[in-house]
Structure 1
Amino acid sequence: MYSSQPNTYEKYSDGQPVSSDSAATGVPYDPSLSQPSAFSIDKPKPRVPWTTGLFDCFSDMKTCCITCWCPCITFGQIAEIVDKGGSSCGASGALYTLIACVIGCPCFYSCFYRSKMRQQYMLEESFCGDCMIHCLCEGCALCQEHRELQNRGYDMSIGWHGNVERRNKEAMMGRPVVEGSMSR
């Protein structure tokens, strides 16, 4: 039902006027509520803890040694998975090495990937922040991120595209195979 006043677009719902904002958007609005009634705003999802601690570096000696001697490899693997194949392991590792050689602090680059990873997997932030963790203990931070991705089912040695192919094969093997066509 519409208002009897000319040139007015106020709609009435159950005899109650609805805000002029709803006439513009088409979304019913109840002034007693602070949010439009047509939308349900979900509460933010709770953050989950990391599967391993920051100083659990020695639980995976292979990754620990690689990260100690050549952190660009570990970082490249992390960056490829976090970027979902948007950057290659080699390119990310090379950029990490270039930043390390030019300014001496690759942590300013790698900390952004820690933040991006935390956002993707809803991981808890440490009390001192991502950048500070990478500045104070770069190797431990990279090892923790590497272990987190492994614990989430990624095979870090085959990269993003290899993991996608592996998961597609596993999904195809789980489906029933229909042989031939139906006949009478």
Structure 2
Amino acid sequence: MVAWNYELFGCFEDMKICALTLFCPCYIFGKTAETVKRNCIFCGILLLIPFFNLYAFGKVRNLIRKQLNIDGTGSDDCILTLFCAPCALAQEAREVRHGTHIMLRY
């Protein structure tokens, strides 16, 4: 197991992802979820529905961790989702771009 390549609060290092996360979180979440074989549009819509958004966000973060072999637990994912969702979302987007060697077009 490895650690995240990008810090949780390092979202200002990539201003494009930072701005998209702040102003278009559904889009960035959908594109990130797409890398772990989830439907982009469905996940983007789920992000708008209270309680379902917490589940979807935690689930996608967990799948990213498993796919990239990153340390962590489901409870960590839930806590980050609940208290620091924008930073966690930006971290995931940056990690997926790096970890899967796919240049996502944001």
**TM-score scaled by length of structure 2:** 0.87
Specify which of 26, 35, 49 is matched with residue 81 of structure 1.
35
Equivalent residue number for residue 94 of structure 1: 45
For the residues of structure 2 that align with 1:104 and 1:95, how far apart are their CA atoms? Answer: 9
Q: Decide which structure has greater helix share.
A: 2
CA deviations 1:30-72 (Å, max 9, x no partner) are xxxxxxxxxxxxxxxxx10111111101011011111111210
Equivalent residue number for residue 157 of structure 1: 105
**Pairwise CA distance, 1:105:** 6.8
User: What is the total number of aligned residue pairs between the two structures?
Assistant: 104
Q: Which aligned pairs between 1:1-184 and structure 2 lie closer than 5 A? A: 47-83=1-37, 86-87=38-39, 89-97=40-48, 99=49, 103=50, 106-125=53-72, 129-152=76-99, 153-157=101-105
* CA RMSD across the alignment: 1.9
Which AA in structure 2 matches 1:157? R
**Pairwise CA distance, 1:90:** 2.4
Larger Rg: 1
**TM-score scaled by length of structure 1:** 0.52
In structure 2, the gaps of 5 or more residues are: none
Percentage of identical aligned residues: 35
Of the two structures, which has the highest relative contact order with CA contacts closer than 8 Å and spacing of 6 or more? 2
Secondary structure in structure 2 of the residue aligned to 1:149: helix
Q: Once superposed, which parts of structure 1, at least 4 consecutive aligned residues long, lie more than 4 Å away? A: none
- Cα 1:142–1:112 change in 2 (3 A) is same
- Cα 1:104–1:120 change in 2 (3 A) is closer
